[in-house]
Amino acid sequence: MSVVPHTEAAFETLIVSELTTSGGWLTGDPHGYDAELGLYPEDITGFVAETQPKKWQRLVSLAGSEQQARTGLVKRLAQQLDRHGAVDVLRRGFSERGVNLSLCQLKPAHSLDESTLAAYEANRLRVVRQVRFDPRRSDSVDLVLFVNGVPTATAELKNRWTDQNVHHAIVQYRDERDPRAPLFARRAFVHFALDSELAYMTTRLEGPETRFLPFNQGSGGAGRPAARAIPATPTATRPPTSGARSGIATAGSS
């Protein structure tokens, strides 16, 4: 990311543009997110119907209508995510009304398997800005990345030109984000704190005890110089990677 954005909104736009133009991601409407269930329902039913049409028709038949099938499918998925977590369900799938369903298709080893390749290309990777994650509050997280309707990553962005940096994003996650919200509890499995120079990440929000680790390319090449983890109690000391570039665009487009 060679151009330094001067506002947080411009930073969001830059990342979204990189994901959509280089990574093939879709953009989404934040109103399409169901904060109660912690899901983007449109992409869940869309992926299942497109890649497993016979199973989808079976669900419709069992449910009595497409609308009831959609509602039942999404609620069942939410239950499975609460029980097993997003990584397990994306890998193993789940069942609804006795019908075994896949929720994500990994890239096939070769292109000769046309049906698997078609399912892989049907994966819906979506980035959504300003997602309201708590139905009881108006707070929103800057970016959420979805795979077939399941949140996999969140990001809070800060802009140095307005005197905020990655530390402010970390404090925001620790002090202002309820780790019990569905998005943070059993959905997204990585959370990024970013400014135009630095990137940090955590795999679990635990309030003030949340520990963030460096996720920087490094000014001297990937991982150089090494950065220390930011402790649970933030300090005014800047991590020793002041020249590092954010790696979110590269990570998102791979």
* 3-class DSSP state of 39: strand
| Amino acid in position 81 | L
Of 205, 44, 33, which is closest to residue 133 (Cα–Cα)?
33
What's the confidence (pLDDT) of residue 161?
80
The pLDDT of residue 236 is 30
pLDDT one digit per residue (tens) for the chain, 254 residues: 445 556 788 999 999 999 999 989 999 999 999 999 999 999 999 999 999 999 999 999 999 999 999 999 999 999 999 999 999 999 999 999 999 999 999 988 877 778 899 999 999 999 999 999 998 888 999 999 999 999 999 999 998 887 899 999 999 999 999 999 999 999 999 999 999 889 999 999 999 999 999 998 665 555 555 555 555 544 333 333 333 323 333 333 33
Give me the DSSP letters along 127-181: EEEEEE--TTS--EEEEEEEETTEEEEEEEE--GGGT--HHHHHHHHHHHS-TTS
Matching residue, tokens 């002090």: 175
Structure tokens at 147: 């795979």
pLDDT of residue 6: 65
Dist. CA 124–CA 95, nearest whole Å: 20
Q: What is the pLDDT of residue 247?
A: 34
Tell me what pLDDT residue 254 has: 34
So where are the chain's domains? 8-32+124-248, 41-121
Query: Which pLDDT belongs to residue 252?
Result: 37
